[in-house]
Amino acid sequence: MLRRGRGLFAGIAVGLVALAIISASRHHRHHHRQAESYEREPQCEWHGRTCFDNQYGDHVCQGGEYSCRP
């Protein structure tokens, strides 16, 4: 009976380690795919734009040009 308990414990331990490794691998692949998609998206920003806070506390921006680069 004692041997069966040790085997069961060892099997559960191996299973938990395997699940942790699989989970970490999936997590890594998910973040790697996200990084690749961000690399492909164009970088866009405003140039020559003036911004100020008006008398009502609103942040207002005017003029400029919005441009993107791949």
pLDDT digits 0-9 by tens, 16-65: 888 888 887 777 776 666 656 566 788 899 999 999 999 999 999 999 99
Domain count, the chain: 1
pLDDT band at 66 (very low <50, low <70, confident <90, very high): very high
Assess contact for 67 and 45: CB atoms under 8 A: yes
CA torsion sign for 46, 51, 53, 58 is: negative
| Residue 50 lies in domain | 2-69
Token pair 């970490």 is found at: 24
Assess contact for 48 and 64: CB atoms under 8 A: yes
pTM of the model: 0.37
